[in-house]
Amino acid sequence: MISPSFGLRAAAASDVGPHRSVNQDAAFTAAWAAAVADGVGGGPAGDIASSVFVHRLVAGARGPVDVEQLATLLRIANWDLRALVERDPSLDGMATTFTGLFVSPAGILLLAHTGDSRAYLLRDGAMSRETRDDSFVQLLIDSGVVQPADAAFHPHRNVITASLRGAEDDRIALIERPARAGDRWMLCSDGLSDYVPDQEIIGLLAVGDAQAAADSIVALALAAGTRDNVTVVVADIVDDPEWAHRPAFYGSASGRFIESLDEGLESA
C-alpha cells in the first residue's frame, strides 16, 4: 500500500433514534477513508442497501485510492445492490445515499457524494458545508422558492433526487480537495442535519477527540428530537495515521456482511 504523508484519525457514532425500530444508517472509519450511507426511507431494506454498499467499498479499497480507482470501486459497490435485487426481487427499490472522504496517494482528499447525507469542514475555527444536497428542497432553494432558513421545516425535506440503487445511470460526484493537517471533517446523515442547525453543531465539533465529538453531536440530535436514525463521522487530518488499524463499522454495517471481509476486521 502506498502511504501518503497524511491520513485520517476518525471515529463515528450511530443511534437508531427513539422513533425508529431499524437503523438504516451505515458508516465506516479507517486511516485512509471514512464514510456515511443512509438507506433511503420509504423503500424496502434501506439497512441492507447502506451496509452492502459500505462493506463492498471497504473490501475493494483497503487503502488509499486515486480518483479513477475510487470511481471504479463505487461503481462495483453499486453493482452489488443490483445483484442483490436480481437474486431477491423483494428488495427492488432499495437505495442509499453516500458521502465519503478518501485519502489519495497523490496527497489530496477525494470527497464522494450523492443524496442528502452531508460533509462539513472545520478549519481554523470556521465550519463550512462541503456538499450540496441532492434533494427536492435544495432545488426549491436554488430557484428562490424556499429560503435556506425554512428548509428544515419543509414538508418534503426528505425527498431526494439522487441515490444509489444499482442502476447504470446512478451518479456520484467526486471532488478533489486539498488536505491540511489540523482540519476536522464531519460526515452525517440527515438525522442530524434536518434537526440541528449548523451553528449549534460547531461548538461540539471543535471540542475533544474525534470520538468525543461524534458522541456529543449524536447526543445533541437526540436531545433536539430527531425522528430519524442519526449517524456522525468525525475525521481529523493527521500527519501520523495508524495505517495498521482495521476499518471499524457502525450502524447497520456493524452487524451485516462482516463475513465478506477478512477475519479480524473490527466492528464497532
Secondary structure letter of residue 131 according to DSSP = -
Model pLDDT, residue 87: 95
Q: Name the percent of the chain lying above pLDDT 70.
A: 82
Model pLDDT, residue 91: 92
At 165-209, the pLDDT tens digits run 999 999 999 999 999 999 999 999 999 999 999 999 999 999 999
Give the whole-angstrom CA distance, residue 248 versus residue 27. 8
Give the whole-angstrom CA distance, residue 33 versus residue 140. 32
At 95-121, the pLDDT tens digits run 999 999 999 998 899 999 999 999 999
Q: What is the architecture of the domain spanning 7-260?
A: 4-Layer Sandwich (3.60)
| pLDDT, mean of residues 21-31 | 96
Domain-wise residue ranges, the chain: 7-260
C-alpha cell at 188: 452525517
Give the whole-angstrom CA distance, residue 167 versus residue 100. 20
Give the whole-angstrom CA distance, residue 179 versus residue 41. 33
Residue 104 has, within 13 A of its CA and on its CB side, a CA count of 19
Task: Answer yes or no: is pLDDT of 85 > 90.
Answer: yes
Model pLDDT, residue 150: 54
Give the whole-angstrom CA distance, residue 11 versus residue 30. 8
Model pLDDT, residue 135: 57
Secondary structure letter of residue 259 according to DSSP = G
Whether 202 contacts 220, CB under 8 Å: no
Locus of grid cell 453531536: 217
Give the whole-angstrom CA distance, residue 85 versus residue 87. 5
Pairing mode of beta strands 108-114, 173-178: antiparallel
Angle formed by the axes of helices 46-61 and 67-87, nearest 10°: 140
Give the whole-angstrom CA distance, residue 149 versus residue 140. 12
Is residue 62 very low, low, confident or very high in pLDDT (cuts 50, 70, 90)?
confident
